[in-house]
Structure 1
Amino acid sequence: MNAATPMVDRGSHVQWTGEDGLTRTVFAVEGMRCAGCARSIERAIGALDGIERVQVNVATARVAVDWRADRTRLGDILRAVGQAGFRPLPLAGEQADQSFRLERRTAIKRIGLAGLGMMQVMMFVYGLYAADPGGIDPQLAQYLRVVSMLVATPVLLYSGAPFFSGAWQNLKRRTLGMDVPVAAAIALAYGASVFNTLRGEGEVYFDSVTMFIFFLLTGRFVEMTVRQRSLSGSEALARSVPATALRVRPGGSTERVHVGALASGDRISIPRGSVVPVDCELLEGEALVDESLVTGEAKPVLRRAGERLLGGSVNVGHPVHALARTDVAGSTIASLVSLLERGRAERPRLASAADRAAARFVFAILLLSAAVAIGWWIVDPSRAFEATLAVLVVTCPCALSLATPAVLAAATSRLTRLGLLVTNGDAIERLARVTTVMIDKTGTLTTGAVRITRTHTFGELTQQRARAIAAALERDSSHPLAAAFGEFAEPGVTATEIREYPGAGVEGCIDGVTWRLGRAEFALAGLRVDDTASAASTLDAVSRDAIVLASPERLEACFVVAEDVRSDAKAAIDRLRSAGLEVVIASGDGRATVSRTAAALGIEEAYGRLTPEQKVELLRERQRNGKRVLMIGDGINDGPVLAAADVSCAMGEGSAVAQAAADLLLLNPSLGAIAAGVATARRALGVMRQNLTWALAYNVCAVPLAALGFVPPWVAAIGMSASSLVVVLNAGRVARSPRARSAHARVLMPLSPEEAAA
């Protein structure tokens, strides 16, 4: 990508340097639980010199930092995170794998101990609950209390340790996170139980302590599992970059080198089953490669000599030799990783709002608990402690904090599997609300494989020479038209001072003559008025949509081109329309060509021969009329309109400018993923509403009951944990593929006018 140079190395952090001189890094963080943790990390990093921006995403446990490398080092940033009480980890590699495995094993051990302790304590205290007042021997009752305390203590010290360490870190940083009320409730219940046990009378809550810890840990384990599954797509991309590669020496022997040592022009050997380390060109024969991770294509693709092999694809055929065309930093897979991690690290607006609400809710919980304690102390002091404890437990904001980020993480995972990479944190919310889909034609609705069907020359220029000049001018262009001229390139024809005009054409100097190739009004702009009129009249007789080649003196040639509509485009457009979306073509190609494509796809509204500025104005007009527009494009000229759209999607094979401006990146050329992506985003928004409604309804119902003393602490523990589990499991539905019937009958139902306006 020309906007930034990513560096992805196995076992290290993802980082790259942008054109603005800022260095950017993205890494995972272990131990981040809530918005309070995120704020602590932001403050710790922000206090360093040279830090420009810090973004923390709790749902994906990602941190993105922009800083000035001449004033701060990466080690200083990682050290600041560690000093704040968290552990920074690379996104992939052995260290990251070990961390995930250790986190999972430790969680299972803590849950196991808490579960065993909970069952044993409940057996012991059952005798205290079941016996009539005075119906149990005092010595036996004291024995049951002591045994319950002995069993509950290791559960508190080992299984409950994360809550106390989290609360301590929050208090040290002067923030109120979820762990503060949890730790307060556990400490109060355990402390009061120990006190009553030592004095030999009074209520004990060891069963509530162990039950609270067990259910909280279970909820966090489920949340951790959903989070790790949601990150599998990006980590698979990061892991696909091999650590080493086989470089061919001049004598023909091979040497194994670090992948970072590869440079453009190196000859590399790719054995069967190995990952293609960088973008390269197949030198001879054929290669069968699996590009599923990079493009989403499920079947292996046959590549022939001279064709491009994408970095990150897997050679499933015989060993081949290839010529590196980029280094690892400029490879396709590195660009995808950097784009994906940009989206993973950004904090979505909805999630940020939910975090702020949860943080205020924690403060409200503490105030409410104090009010309940004072009220019951006045009315009935014997019930003050139990009611206060129940309020602390039942109102833990876990469900509220997880309601939004869990859904967004699950939706991101689902979109990744569809071949849609989320590169902007707010893209899912905006995608769910779109009402209009505006699509560029070339490379999106069509295959992008442009063919030159006819060549017309005017004057002394031969057709062969005209095509060779056009090939030289298009040599370094990423526009699909450039590939159509590639086969006509001649070694003796070289262009210099090449300048590309997005949406218009290209200009360059060949043998001292300045040539222009592109749209008629661009190519003929330098001619005299009479010559321009004559040339336009000549073109009308051929085709106004032809690609024009002109010298400073005259119209020299024109090329009539054709391209094929994608085989799945009609079905994808039909699905978008069935979802209640308006579909519009906005293209810079000729009007006649655009009209033919629109007619083939059944699209009623299509605009051709638009400049980048005209595309933006067309989009703005839709927005002024209350429409929310999804723009899909792939060329350099689509950059401005992609940036202006409510939500944008660039094709994975498109230009770096388009990819940098887009909120989504479509790896698979199939447009069917767009319709499925809209369905997933709408489903995610619906599940998010369900989660928030459930969290609100639960607290509205549970808090009064707990405050009035109708809910014992052990019931409060079950209710709080159950509410968190409901939220996480409900969010997990978004990551699963919906059934065919629900996908068409319910998920793709259009938004109501009220929902769209919201």
Structure 2
Amino acid sequence: MSTQQSCFHCGETTREGERWATEIDGQVRPMCCPGCKAVAETIVASGLKDYYKHRTQLPELSPADGDDQDLTARDTLKLYDSDALQRSFVARDGELAEATLIIDGISCAACAWLIEHRINQLPGVDNAVLNMSNHRLVVRWHYADIAVSSLIEAIYRLGYRASPFSATEQEAQRSRESKQAIRRLAVAGIGMMQVMMLSVPLYVGMAAQYEVFMRFAALILTLPVVLFSARPFFIAAVRDLKTRHLTMDVPVSLAIWLAFGASIWSTFNRGPEVYFDSVCMFTFFLLLGRYLEMRARHRMGKAGNNLLTLLPNVAVKVIDGGDDQVISSEEICVGDILRLRPGHAIPADGIVTAGKSSVDEAALTGEYMPVDKQTGDTLIGGTFNVESPMLMRVTATGAEAQLSTIMRLMDRAQQEKPKAALLADKIASHFVAAVLIISASVFSFWAWQGDEHAFFIALSVLVVTCPCALSLATPTALTAATASLREAGLLISKGHVLETLPQIDRVVFDKTGTLTLGRLTLSQVIPLQGDDESHLLQLAAGLEQHASHPIAKAFQHISAKAASDIEQIPAQGIQGRIDGQLLKLGHPGFAWPAPLQPPGDDGGQWLLLASEHAPLGWIQVNDSLRKAATKLVSGLQQRGIKTALLTGDPSHSGQRIAQQLGIDELSCGVSPEQKLQQVVSWQQQGERILMAGDGINDVPVLAGADVSLAVNEATDLAKTNADTVLTNGRLEVLLAAIDGAAATRRIIRQNIGWALLYNLVALPIAAAGLVPPWAAAIGMSLSSLIVVTNALRLNRIGRLAKET
């Protein structure tokens, strides 16, 4: 039976110590997981093993400016400057680097503003944006100008804890946060019930000697609520005062301490009233509101985190000699050969080097049908090998892997704030100071009037006007909509997309690879010598079975005749011998010396199959339309959005496709520059343009459009420059995105409107003395909960898109 131990690296209690143990300084040290084992081994391998002798807990780093006493804590942070540790959370793009950090200790939008403002002031930082919904800070900086440890230290000096983003670590942090919140809520709830029970006799009146006993009993029962349950408010308030920045925790802490202090004074000095019950109720309802907000935030964050949790903890590496070695995922390096077993997750991005199987990519694309993979095909970490074993060569890991790239794009979309969000943040950042001034004014007024309840009227104003709902109004809606659309197959990578999509006037399509599949298929077979169609296709497939050009892929599913002496003639065709007979397939002038005209010119490519003696037949290959193209175009037109097709293909296929789909405007044979000129021309006429494309030639116009969409088969350059990426090939998801963006804009406006209306109505009522402190706490919590619940309605976007 295994015994509990403490992980040597992180200190967590574990039963897995023997399984993941590693040797450090000649002693076997227990580890809780392969992640801690990999980090510990990396630290030792980097020559930093003395870290374990001198380490201290990171929170001991003083948030006060100029405090350099805790050198060991700073040395601990410098471990993040190691290339080995940065591989998992820092992505490099030339001179620029980007890292995602999890911030602990955030309580409201003012905290986010303070962190963003401080990090953006650091030399070398290009941009830093914090997402209030999932507490992730994305920092983009010039790598040579400032070290990662300096970025994290700056956050510690503000009084917050920062750590590299990891799906596993964030889940652990969420679990700790949830358990601690439940404990504090339970203590506050039990204390509230007990103190209220003691307060009832005080309200109805009793003998003086018993009244003193009841007051002291209520004082003792309130102490755990104030010292334990309300402790997060006080810690945050002290931190904010040290950094000279006000957040909502300042008025909350002030309200609790003032009410508790006044009640203690009345208890010892036989004052007229005590308010221990109000303190407990106030604390309980504040904690309840924050707990419900936390649960909603965790629920929205899990949609994105589920991507990175798809990666397995371990992998099977093929070492020299063909033997297998089990390693942790953190130890995987580019170039490693990994063995993929059926039913197991693929641990990194790579290329199949041996074997054939089908892979379930539903988590990334939303498509439930597995995709066939064979030698040379690409694999994405986090997808699942379904049928047969394969070998793969690793091409990307850590922050460079596709899953990490998707996560960064999602974070970037959620962090780029629309105008409504910027307005809300600006209001919230000044709201706390206004609340303190108004509360002091209310107290002064009622005290001047001689009202004995002036103190508690001001207390209610402090509580009821906290700007929680205002700070949550926008980030919750953006996070819910972005995560829901990603599950449906549309990855939003720029924050302005949800704001701009409802205003789109025209959607412009490229043809090949966007409206069409971008691969040739067989359209028609016309025999010329009485042969049946299947026999002609078998002959053609025999010639093409080993060819590498795109036309050959159209014959891959045909049972091929055995061919020999195959020779490919560039730009002409292919020839070879089947059953001793020389056959040619390709351009009519190459296959047969006499001039022959193709049967028609309807946009496809006609190939002539001929023997030495006679032409045998015509075979037409063509690029086929995507299944959802018709539904998409008609859906756009029903919404009053115009459509256009701009293609570089000069053939008649563009006209045929435009007529088939009912597209409004068509331009064929246009260059990338001409595409961009046309889009700019429409924009100058006041139209907002969405451009959908897939190739390098579409990059200029993708960058120039108001919103750009790259399809799933697009080049990497096109995906990088696009605002949205279609991950599953279902074009009709764009319709759900347009409708969902309109819904998101409505909900953001509803949330901000509700938050402002609530404060405008609640403030005068509380200032008039009509709201007791405990009712003010309930009102503030309910206001925030309404905003979060309203935003969660956007989770339906993904379900509706899949039903489309």
Q: TM-score range by the shorter chain?
A: 0.7 to 0.9
Task: Report whether the alignment pairs 1:695 with 2:769.
Answer: no
Q: 1:96 is matched by which residue type in structure 2?
A: Q
Give yes or no for contact 1:349–1:426 (8 Å, CA) kept in 2: no
Task: Report whether the alignment pairs 1:14 with 2:84.
Answer: no
Q: 1:614 to 1:146 in 2, by over 3 A?
A: farther
Q: 1:364 is matched by which residue type in structure 2?
A: A
Measured in 2, the distance between the counterparts of 1:607 and 1:486 equals: 33
1:530-549 mapped onto 2 (5 Å cutoff): none
Q: 1:688 to 1:265 in 2, by over 3 A?
A: closer
Q: 1:328 to 1:119 in 2, by over 3 A?
A: closer
Q: Report what 1:374 is aligned to.
A: 444
Match of 1:594 among 654, 663, 669: 654
Q: 1:381 to 1:312 in 2, by over 3 A?
A: same
The SS at the match of 1:288 is strand
Q: Report what 2:343 is aligned to.
A: 273
Q: Report what 2:456 is aligned to.
A: 386
Q: 1:98 to 1:647 in 2, by over 3 A?
A: same
Q: Report what 1:553 is aligned to.
A: none
Shift of 1:80: 2.1
Question: Which has more radius of gyration?
Answer: 2
Shift of 1:16: 0.9
Shift of 1:398: 0.9
Measured in 1, the distance between the counterparts of 2:206 and 2:300 equals: 53
Return 342-351 or 32-41, whichever deviates more: 342-351
State the Cα deviation string for residues 276-316 of structure 1 (Å, max 9, x = none).
Answer: 23444444553021111222212222334444333331112
Give yes or no for contact 2:506–2:644 (8 Å, CA) kept in 1: yes
Q: Report what 2:580 is aligned to.
A: none
The SS at the match of 2:710 is strand
State the Cα deviation string for residues 11-67 of structure 1 (Å, max 9, x = none).
Answer: 975221113x11111122112222321233234434544333222222231112122
Return 7-16 or 617-626, whichever deviates more: 7-16
State the Cα deviation string for residues 344-374 of structure 1 (Å, max 9, x = none).
Answer: 4444443232111111222221121122122
Q: 1:560 to 1:568 in 2, by over 3 A?
A: same
Give yes or no for contact 2:339–2:389 (8 Å, CA) kept in 1: yes
Give yes or no for contact 2:691–2:707 (8 Å, CA) kept in 1: yes
Q: Report what 2:24 is aligned to.
A: none
Measured in 1, the distance between the counterparts of 2:713 and 2:512 equals: 12
Q: 1:100 to 1:379 in 2, by over 3 A?
A: same
Match of 2:428 among 338, 344, 358: 358
Task: Report whether the alignment pairs 1:71 with 2:145.
Answer: yes
Match of 1:333 among 378, 386, 403: 403
Match of 1:151 among 192, 206, 221: 221
Q: 1:104 to 1:736 in 2, by over 3 A?
A: farther
Shift of 1:243: 4.8
Give yes or no for contact 1:10–1:239 (8 Å, CA) kept in 2: no
Task: Report whether the alignment pairs 1:224 with 2:294.
Answer: yes
Normalised to the residue count of structure 2, the TM-score between the two structures is 0.75
State the Cα deviation string for residues 172-193 of structure 1 (Å, max 9, x = none).
Answer: 2221212122222222222222
Task: Report whether the alignment pairs 1:200 with 2:270.
Answer: yes
Measured in 1, the distance between the counterparts of 2:336 and 2:603 equals: 42
Shift of 1:483: 7.9
Match of 1:112 among 169, 186, 198: 186
Give yes or no for contact 2:101–2:163 (8 Å, CA) kept in 1: yes
Give yes or no for contact 2:691–2:709 (8 Å, CA) kept in 1: yes
Give yes or no for contact 1:22–1:66 (8 Å, CA) kept in 2: yes
The SS at the match of 2:165 is coil
Q: 1:86 is matched by which residue type in structure 2?
A: Y
Shift of 1:250: 5.1
Shift of 1:648: 2.2
Q: Report what 2:387 is aligned to.
A: 317
Task: Report whether the alignment pairs 1:91 with 2:165.
Answer: yes
Q: 1:101 is matched by which residue type in structure 2?
A: S
Q: 1:484 to 1:159 in 2, by over 3 A?
A: farther
Measured in 1, the distance between the counterparts of 2:400 and 2:127 equals: 24
Q: Which runs of 4+ in 1 moved over 6 A?
A: 7-12, 480-487, 490-495, 538-548, 738-741
1:541-580 mapped onto 2 (5 Å cutoff): 562-580=622-640
Match of 2:306 among 236, 245, 248: 236
Q: Report what 2:14 is aligned to.
A: none
Give yes or no for contact 1:28–1:88 (8 Å, CA) kept in 2: yes
Give yes or no for contact 2:647–2:667 (8 Å, CA) kept in 1: yes
Match of 2:786 among 712, 726, 734: 726
Q: Report what 1:437 is aligned to.
A: 507
Return 275-284 or 639-648, whichever deviates more: 275-284
Return 242-251 or 689-698, whichever deviates more: 242-251
Measured in 2, the distance between the counterparts of 1:279 and 1:263 equals: 11
Measured in 2, the distance between the counterparts of 1:340 and 1:494 equals: 47
Q: Considering Cα pairs closer than 8 Å and 6+ residues apart, tell me whether 1 or 2 has the greater RCO.
A: 1
State the Cα deviation string for residues 707-741 of structure 1 (Å, max 9, x = none).
Answer: 11122222222212211111111111122358879
Q: 1:214 to 1:611 in 2, by over 3 A?
A: farther
Q: Report what 2:611 is aligned to.
A: none
Shift of 1:606: 3.1
Task: Report whether the alignment pairs 1:642 with 2:717.
Answer: no
Measured in 2, the distance between the counterparts of 1:706 and 1:612 equals: 63
Where do 5+ consecutive residues of structure 1 fail to align?
Answer: 1-6, 455-463, 475-479, 496-537, 549-558, 745-758
Root mean square deviation, CA, Å = 3.8
Give yes or no for contact 1:28–1:89 (8 Å, CA) kept in 2: yes
Measured in 2, the distance between the counterparts of 1:227 and 1:590 equals: 52
Give yes or no for contact 1:32–1:86 (8 Å, CA) kept in 2: yes
Q: Report what 2:61 is aligned to.
A: none
The SS at the match of 2:382 is coil
Q: 1:277 to 1:718 in 2, by over 3 A?
A: closer
Q: 1:321 to 1:675 in 2, by over 3 A?
A: same
Normalised to the residue count of structure 1, the TM-score between the two structures is 0.79
Q: 2:304 is matched by which residue type in structure 1?
A: S
Measured in 2, the distance between the counterparts of 1:492 and 1:330 equals: 41
Shift of 1:102: 0.4
Q: Report what 1:605 is aligned to.
A: 665
Measured in 2, the distance between the counterparts of 1:621 and 1:238 equals: 43
Q: Report what 1:678 is aligned to.
A: 738
Measured in 2, the distance between the counterparts of 1:8 and 1:337 equals: 21
Q: 1:39 is matched by which residue type in structure 2?
A: W
